[in-house]
Every structure is written in structure tokens, then in C-alpha cells.
């Protein structure tokens, strides 16, 4: 199927970023964006494990109406820590800090990011923030919900809120510095000939993501700082007993935390926009619309936050404004889905694992996005707000969307990162397992939500049990789907076949250099003289460029 079956036996390049220097210091003090990306890969995977263990315990606990496993206090800590670990320490840094870090400089033909030391610093900030949060987890845990609503978090909770808040505050600067680095890099470091409209859509998506990072993160940082100060020094910013307004906390919190959803999903959309044209071997349909919609999502995404607050008693005017704007942000997402689908038309579609992930992403993201319309709809949100409908919706976006894109992206660029190929059949099995397991886990939760099961319940009325059991059963399939890639990808690092510079083959600049790339990314500064995703004028790819498709599978 894939070109790799017929590719010649490649050898790894003699010098590359992995063997340039040795020793622990050469990694911990590196300023090479590719090595920093791998540092992130390790630490982010660690937090994914932690969050995943919490998720597993949550699902097991919910097998019976009265709660099968743990006490209410423990359950509350489990879902809070699951949320904090997954959102702040896995989803937000996952694609930008790993794939973005690794690929953006190579994709635009630069030797590194504009500020390599700041890049390393942002990883250390992430680690320090992570340590604070782990400290919170291990000394009493955290039971406020990842949203830290006041005055529960700032006054009433008896858990280790303060270190967690400090950890997330610190971690915010990691995000800000990464975003800053990307924006400057894209502006000033592009290779000759790499015009804005020749940028890969992955880079566009990360540019949009970076906008959200630098504009939103400082607001949540100051908000959590205020909540932390309120808790430590008994101040009254958000404490109604002292005249503060808890709803103001929600405004400030969601000003970041809604756009943060776009930090998670936009990079994933960027990954999909790379995978689909590569495995359909044709230019992406509507390049400028996909690029523009990324920016539109980032900008409009900032105008919708109070749709998380329709039933807080916010003014009807605010609710109408925010609901209206929320419907507008749906349009650029829809544009992307339509364009990806149209790209498949008359393609030459391979069934490689990255493509399976990408198509799975479109399906799940479509469901996740469309169910967002339900929640943005004022009349419906009165009923489904804070129920399992919300849980299902955002897991479709974040797990079905962001994580599928992340895992798909890892599969797509694994040969570039490690220089090795992974087992083909196994990788396709994993993709399908993930897709099936995911739907089994989360689709029942839509129904649970409409039936009225509120979220964050350690026990529930017995009529909700059937759907909960179904969901837990699905979760076990899902867990298997995550474990498989971890095993065979690790295996492939040592035993996988050598990939060669461009195994798929793909058109991006990153595939013009060695796999793994040399420390300086390119032996000579590249000159870009082709349009993005153009297979027809690229004889260097060794494909049937310019040749009309064979009648057997061409015109319809």
C-alpha cells in the first residue's frame, strides 16, 4: 500500500541531532529545539499516564450507582486531578511543545526557533510547575474541580489548592514563552522563498494557537494568582462573604479557558491538514480558507467565553451576546471539515495509520463540534449545562479531536523524529481500536446528560447505571488503544526499519532533510520554490508527477 513497502533499504545518516552529543548534560542543557521537543515528549507522556490512571479509576468507580471503588472525597480528587493533569500538563503542551517545537523551524527552513534558550527555559518552567502540581496531588490531593470555582477553591476546600494553583500559574509562563517563540520565529525566521502562503497549514495553525497562548494565558495566570492570594491571605477578590464576586472569577477564568480549548484543538487541526493531503497525494482543498479559519477561530474564540455561564444568573443581554458569538465560531470549524472532506475527492488515498487517525479525527471532531451547538444554544443549555452531555462534548473535542490528532501526528512524523518505521498492521489496528473504544466510552454520555445526570457525581440514581457500565466498558477498549502505540513505538526506536528522509512521501520542507535531521536541520539553507502540497510539480518525490491517473481508479 504505502510507498514504504517498495522503498530501498535506507541507512541512518551518520550525524544527526540524536547522536550529535552524548550524556545527560547534553540533553538537559540543550538548546536544540528537536531535543527540547523530546524532553517535552517524555514529560508530557508522564502526565498523560497520571491523568489516564485517574480516568481509569473514575470509570471503574462509576460502575455501580453508589460508587464501586473510592470514597466521595477521593472521587472528587480523582476527577479534579484528572482534569488538571490532562488539560494543563498534557493537552495544552502536547502538540505545540512536542510536534510544533520539533517541526516549525524545519518546516519554515530555519536552524532553530528565534529564542532557543527561552525554549529550554519554557521546558524547565513546565517541569517546575509540574512539580508543584505533583506535590499538591501527593499531599492531600486537590478537590476543587479543574475549574477552581471560588469560593469553593479559595475558602471552603480542605485540599492542597495552593500548590496546585501556584503550579498552574508557573506552567502558564511555559505556554506564553512557547507561543511567543513561535510567533517571532514564524515572522522572522522563514527561509528564502517561504512566503506566508507557502507555509504549511500546520504552521498556520500553530501561529493561531500561539496567539491564544500569549493573549489568554496571562489572564488565567493573574486570575489563579488572585484566587491563590485570596486563599493564602484571606482576601476577598472573589469571596462573597467579603464583598467579592464569584462570578467575576468565572469571567476571568473562562476568558482564557475557553480559548484554551482552541490551544488544544487548533494544533491538532494543523496536523490533520498535513496528513490528509499527504495521504491523498493532492493539494489541500481551499488552502487559504483553512489557513484563514485557523486565525478566525483564534480571534472569535476569545469572544465566546461566557457561554459557560448561561445559568449563573449573568444578564440576559450577556447571554444573548455570547450565544450569538458562539454560533459564529462554529463556522470556521465547519469550513475546515468541509475542506478536508473535499480534499479526499479524486485523491489517491492510502490506508496508512496516520490517515486512519486523521479520518477518525474528522468524524469525532464533527460530532464534538456539532454537539457544541447544543451547548451554545441558550434554551438547551439550561437543561444540559453541567451534565454528562458537557463531559461527552468536550471529550469528543479534546480526546476525539486533540488526542487523535496528536497520536496521528506522532505516527506521521515518527519516522522523521526517530528515523525509524513502526509496524504497519499493528498501527492500523491501534487506530481502529482507539476510534471504536472512544465512541463506546463517550457516546453513551450524551444520552446520560440529556437524561439529567449531573457531572462530578460520585454516586448516581440507579436509572443511569446501564449507560455508565457501557461507558466503562468502552473505556477499557480505549485504554488498550492507547497502550498499543506506546508499546510498538517504543519497540520501533530500536527494532524498526530505517525510514529514509521521506517515507510517505510528503511535500513539506521537513521531508527534504535527513531522518533524523542534523542538529542544524539542513546542511544548506533551503530555497523554497514550490507551492504547498503540490505533487504535480515535484519530480524529486519520485512519484507519477503530472501523469493522469489510471482510468481504473481515476475519473468517476
Of 406 and 504, the one with the shorter C-beta distance to other proteins is: 504
DSSP H or E segment with residue 343: helix 316-344
Of 14 and 547, the one with the shorter C-beta distance to other proteins is: 547
Q: Are 412 and 379 in contact (CB under 8 A)?
A: no
Of 274 and 489, the one with the shorter C-beta distance to other proteins is: 274
Q: How far is the CB of 482 from other proteins (least distance, A)?
A: 24
Local structure of residue 543 (DSSP, 8 states): S
C-alpha cell at 226: 488572585
As a whole number of angstroms, the distance between CA 75 and CA 400 comes to: 24
Q: Are 169 and 253 in contact (CB under 8 A)?
A: no
Of 13 and 286, the one with the shorter C-beta distance to other proteins is: 286
As a whole number of angstroms, the distance between CA 276 and CA 542 comes to: 19
Q: How far is the CB of 233 from other proteins (least distance, A)?
A: 7
As a whole number of angstroms, the distance between CA 383 and CA 370 comes to: 17
Q: What is the DSSP string of 72-93?
A: HHHHHHHHHHHHHHHIIIIIHH
Of 14 and 66, the one with the shorter C-beta distance to other proteins is: 66
Local structure of residue 161 (DSSP, 8 states): H
Residue written as cell 494543563? 88
Question: Which positions ≥6 away from 398 have C-beta within 8 Å?
Answer: 86, 87, 91, 261, 264, 265
Q: How far is the CB of 406 from other proteins (least distance, A)?
A: 20
C-alpha cell at 500: 529514509
As a whole number of angstroms, the distance between CA 243 and CA 249 comes to: 13
Local structure of residue 94 (DSSP, 8 states): I
Of 454 and 518, the one with the shorter C-beta distance to other proteins is: 454
Q: How far is the CB of 529 from other proteins (least distance, A)?
A: 17
Q: What is the DSSP string of 513-539?
A: S-SSPPTTS-SS-----S-TT--TT-G
150 phi and psi angles, rounded to 5 deg: -90, 155
Q: What is the DSSP string of 388-413?
A: HHHHHHHHIIIIIIIIHHHHHHHHHH
Of 48 and 279, the one with the shorter C-beta distance to other proteins is: 279
Q: How far is the CB of 487 from other proteins (least distance, A)?
A: 27
Of 157 and 513, the one with the shorter C-beta distance to other proteins is: 157
Q: How far is the CB of 463 from other proteins (least distance, A)?
A: 8
Of 44 and 541, the one with the shorter C-beta distance to other proteins is: 541
Q: How far is the CB of 556 from other proteins (least distance, A)?
A: 7
Q: How far is the CB of 76 from other proteins (least distance, A)?
A: 6
C-alpha cell at 309: 455561564
Of 190 and 411, the one with the shorter C-beta distance to other proteins is: 190
Of 128 and 545, the one with the shorter C-beta distance to other proteins is: 545
Q: How far is the CB of 355 from other proteins (least distance, A)?
A: 9
Q: Are 268 and 402 in contact (CB under 8 A)?
A: yes
C-alpha cell at 151: 469560593
Of 120 and 134, the one with the shorter C-beta distance to other proteins is: 120
Question: Which positions ≥6 away from 547 have C-beta within 8 Å?
Answer: none
Residue written as cell 515572522? 187
Of 127 and 447, the one with the shorter C-beta distance to other proteins is: 447
Q: How far is the CB of 109 from other proteins (least distance, A)?
A: 11
As a whole number of angstroms, the distance between CA 232 and CA 226 comes to: 10
Q: Are 265 and 399 in contact (CB under 8 A)?
A: no
C-alpha cell at 429: 489496528
As a whole number of angstroms, the distance between CA 120 and CA 125 comes to: 9
As a whole number of angstroms, the distance between CA 358 and CA 269 comes to: 9
Q: How far is the CB of 493 from other proteins (least distance, A)?
A: 26
Q: How far is the CB of 46 from other proteins (least distance, A)?
A: 27
Q: How far is the CB of 443 from other proteins (least distance, A)?
A: 12
Q: How far is the CB of 483 from other proteins (least distance, A)?
A: 26
Helix boundaries (H) for 141-200: 161-188
Q: Are 454 and 387 in contact (CB under 8 A)?
A: yes
CB-side neighbour CA atoms (13 Å) of 302: 15
Cis peptide before 514 (omega within 30 of 0): no
Of 76 and 136, the one with the shorter C-beta distance to other proteins is: 76
Q: Are 196 and 528 in contact (CB under 8 A)?
A: no
Amino acid at each position: 500500500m504505502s510507498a514504504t513497502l517498495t522503498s530501498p533499504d535506507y541507512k541512518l545518516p551518520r550525524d544527526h541531532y540524536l547522536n550529535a552529543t552524548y550524556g545527560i548534560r547534553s540533553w538537559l542543557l540543550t538548546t536544540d529545539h528537536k531535543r527540547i521537543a523530546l524532553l517535552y515528549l517524555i514529560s508530557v507522556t508522564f502526565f498523560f499516564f497520571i491523568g489516564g490512571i485517574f480516568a481509569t479509576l473514575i470509570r471503574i468507580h462509576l460502575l455501580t450507582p453508589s460508587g464501586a471503588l473510592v470514597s466521595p472525597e477521593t472521587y472528587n480528587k480523582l476527577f479534579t486531578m484528572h482534569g488538571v493533569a490532562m488539560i494543563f500538563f498534557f493537552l495544552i503542551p502536547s502538540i505545540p511543545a512536542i510536534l510544533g517545537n520539533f517541526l516549525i523551524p524545519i518546516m519554515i527552513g530555519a536552524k532553530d526557533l528565534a529564542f532557543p534558550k527561552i525554549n529550554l527555559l519554557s521546558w524547565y518552567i513546565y517541569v517546575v510547575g509540574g512539580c508543584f502540581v505533583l506535590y499538591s496531588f501527593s499531599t492531600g490531593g486537590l478537590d476543587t474541580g479543574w475549574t477552581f470555582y471560588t469560593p469553593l477553591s479559595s475558602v471552603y476546600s480542605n485540599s492542597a489548592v495552593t500548590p496546585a494553583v501556584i503550579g498552574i500559574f508557573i506552567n502558564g509562563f511555559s505556554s506564553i514563552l512557547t507561543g511567543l517563540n513561535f510567533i517571532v520565529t514564524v515572522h522572522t525566521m522563514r527561509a528564502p522563498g517561504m512566503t506566508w502562503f507557502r507555509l504549511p497549514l500546520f504552521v498556520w495553525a500553530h501561529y493561531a494557537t500561539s496567539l491564544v497562548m500569549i493573549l489568554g494565558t496571562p489572564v488565567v495566570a493573574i486570575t489563579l494568582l488572585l484566587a491563590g492570594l485570596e486563599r493564602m491571605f484571606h482576601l476577598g477578590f472573589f469571596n462573597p462573604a467579603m464583598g467579592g464576586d464569584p462570578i467575576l472569577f468565572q469571567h476571568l477564568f473562562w476568558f482564557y479557558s475557553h480559548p484554551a480549548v482552541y490551544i488544544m484543538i487548533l494544533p491538532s487541526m494543523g496536523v490533520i491538514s498535513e496528513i490528509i493531503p499527504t495521504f491523498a497525494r493532492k493539494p489541500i482543498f481551499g488552502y487559504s480558507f483553512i489557513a484563514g479559519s485557523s486565525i478566525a477561530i483564534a480571534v472569535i474564540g476569545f469572544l465566546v467565553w461566557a457561554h459557560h455561564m448561561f445559568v449563573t444568573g449573568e444578564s440576559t443581554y450577556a447571554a444573548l451576546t455570547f450565544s450569538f458569538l458562539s454560533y459564529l465560531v462554529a463556522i470556521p470549524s465547519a469550513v475546515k471539515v468541509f475542506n478536508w472532506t473535499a480534499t479526499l475527492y479524486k485523491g489517491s488515498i492510502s490506508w496508512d495509520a496516520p490517515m486512519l487517525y486523521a479520518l477518525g479525527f474528522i468524524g469525532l471532531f464533527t460530532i464534538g463540534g456539532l454537539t457544541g451547538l447544543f451547548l451554545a444554544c441558550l434554551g438547551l443549555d439550561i437543561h444540559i449545562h453541567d451534565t454528562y452531555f458537557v463531559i461527552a462534548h468536550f471529550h469528543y473535542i479534546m480526546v476525539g479531536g486533540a488526542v487523535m490528532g496528536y497520536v496521528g501526528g506522532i505516527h506521521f512524523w515518527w519516522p522523521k523524529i526517530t528515523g525509524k518505521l513502526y509496524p504497519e498492521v499493528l498501527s492500523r489496528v491501534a487506530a481502529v481500536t482507539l476510534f471504536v473504544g472512544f465512541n463506546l466510552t463517550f457516546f453513551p454520555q450524551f444520552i446520560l446528560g440529556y437524561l439529567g445526570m449531573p457531572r462530578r457525581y460520585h454516586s448516581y440514581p440507579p436509572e443511569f447505571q446501564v449507560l455508565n457500565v457501557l461507558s466503562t466498558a468502552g473505556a477499557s477498549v480505549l485504554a488498550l488503544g492507547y497502550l498499543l502505540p506506546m508499546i510498538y513505538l517504543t519497540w520501533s526506536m530500536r527494532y524498526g526499519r530505517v525510514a529514509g528522509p521521506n517515507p510517505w512521501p510528503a511535500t513539506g520542507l521537513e521531508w527534504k532533510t535527513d531522518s533524523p535531521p542534523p542538529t542544524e536541520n539542513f546542511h544548506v539553507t533551503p530555497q523554497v520554490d514550490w507551492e504547498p502540497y503540490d505533487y504535480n510539480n515535484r519530480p524529486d518525490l519520485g512519484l507519477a508527477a503530472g501523469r493522469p491517473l489510471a482510468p481504473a481508479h481515476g475519473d468517476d
